[in-house]
Amino acid sequence: MPSPDDRTIHAQSQISFSAELTPEQVAMFEEWDALVPTIYFMDICAVNITKMSAAKLANDRRKSYWADQFRKLDRKQHAFSYLLALLEKGSDPRDHMSKEAWVEQIYRDVASLRQFFHHARVYETDQILDDFIKILPGNPIELKRQAYLEFLRAANDEFKLSDPVAPKKRLATTSNILRKADDLSIPRQHAIVLVTIAKLYGNEDARKILKFTKNPVDFQPENSLADIMMITRFYERKIQIEDAANRGEAPYRRAKLLTDDEGLLRVARCIEPVSLQYRSTGDTHEILLDVKVKLAKLLTGLGGDNEGTEYNRIYAMIFGDEGGTE
């Protein structure tokens, strides 16, 4: 029998269109967009940009660009969240920093954000930070963390995905990858599986996220996992925040991800959130993220006369039915 805590919340509907606009029209739309109260979730790299001195920014055009973008978003109706960076730092078992040094670093990061933004709110109060600091260090955010790491090690060590796979062997390799996910009780539609298959089919952004290596000793699956899980962690918060706003219980109408990793953003746009399911069984509480996958956009290297047939077979293996257009 379902628990009274079991429920499903759905992602906010999105509207998109494409058009050729003049610079003036682009500026008008950007200004209109900036009026919507938004909470921006920053990754570690984005946070680090706010800590850079003016002299260092002057010598780094890309990071200087992002610092300027952050300043443009510094408005009283917005907020910036440190949560994603905090979760990443707090759940990494490789970090051998002492608890005291770790806590000091967290507060230093947040102090930097509070100093950088003059009008927008930094969402995490000291009390919120204290609550997370009590439970995070060394503890996995996701219960299946070890299964995810084992899956990534298999992709690198067993399936040798650091090297390109011959087109004739990619479909069989996809099947092996999916069986490995089954063995580890990882859903075939999970982001970690989708990004791995995207790399197999030549997606350059997926390659940079996964960072596979020829020598297994050099591979650091924790780094790959951190980037992939940032996508799913963000989408979970996005659905929660926007659902609360629709019910009049939160001031921010939207949630957006801020990172200077444009490849990660491109991959994230291929995996769109649909809903969150909350399930409770005894003392166990589970959150399930349902996503809509733009599979054709992920499989950038799929081509040739057999493209349609191979795409449909991949789609069927992942989703259990025939292709469609996603």
Q: Which domain holds residue 318?
A: 1-12+142-230+261-326
Lowest mean pLDDT of 33-42, 164-173, 300-309, name the range: 300-309
Q: 106-141: string of b/e by CB count within 10 Å (b at 16+)?
A: beebbebbeebbeebbbbbeeeebeebbeebbeeee
Q: Are residues 218 and 289 in the same domain?
A: yes
Report pLDDT for 93: 55
What is the chain's percent helix, strand, coil content, to nearest 5? 55, 10, 35
Q: Are residues 242 and 160 in the same domain?
A: no
Report pLDDT for 155: 98
Instruction: Give the C-alpha distances (Å, rounded to integers) separating 140 from 90, 144, 240.
Output: 8, 8, 21
Q: Are residues 133 and 149 in the same domain?
A: no
Q: Are residues 153 and 130 in the same domain?
A: no
Lowest mean pLDDT of 6-15, 173-182, 311-320, name the range: 6-15
Give the contacts of 58 (CB within 8 A, at least 6 positions apart). 64
Lowest mean pLDDT of 49-63, 96-110, 198-212, 245-259, name the range: 96-110
Q: What is the mean pLDDT of the chain?
A: 89
Sheet of 254-258: strand order equals 121-122, 79-81, 38-42, 254-258
Q: Measured between alpha carbons, how far is 162 from 71 in angstroms, rounded to an integer?
A: 38
Tell which of 260, 277, 298 closes a domain: 260
Digit-coded pLDDT (tens) for 41-81? 999 999 999 999 999 999 999 999 999 999 999 999 999 99
Q: Are residues 220 and 124 in the same domain?
A: no
Report pLDDT for 286: 77
Q: Are residues 307 and 161 in the same domain?
A: yes
Reported as type and span, the H/E element at residue 294 is: none
pLDDT band at 187; cut points 50, 70, 90: very high
Digit-coded pLDDT (tens) for 7-26? 888 887 766 667 787 888 77
Q: Are residues 164 and 111 in the same domain?
A: no
Q: Measured between alpha carbons, how far is 155 from 165 in angstroms, rounded to an integer?
A: 12
Q: Are residues 187 and 280 in the same domain?
A: yes
Q: Measured between alpha carbons, how far is 220 from 210 in angstroms, rounded to an integer?
A: 9
Q: Are residues 150 and 279 in the same domain?
A: yes
In the predicted model, is pLDDT for residue 2 greater than 50?
Answer: no
Taking residues 172-187, report their average pLDDT: 97
Report pLDDT for 17: 64
233: nearest Cα among 145, 121, 106: 145
In the predicted model, is pLDDT for residue 159 greater than 80?
Answer: yes
Q: Are residues 8 and 117 in the same domain?
A: no
Q: Could you tell me the pTM of the whole model? A: 0.89
Sheet of 284-293: strand order equals 7-10, 271-281, 284-293
CA 16 to chain CA centroid, nearest Å:
21
Q: Are residues 224 and 90 in the same domain?
A: no
Q: Are residues 172 and 318 in the same domain?
A: yes
- The total of structural domains in the chain comes to 2
Report pLDDT for 4: 45
pLDDT band at 218; cut points 50, 70, 90: very high
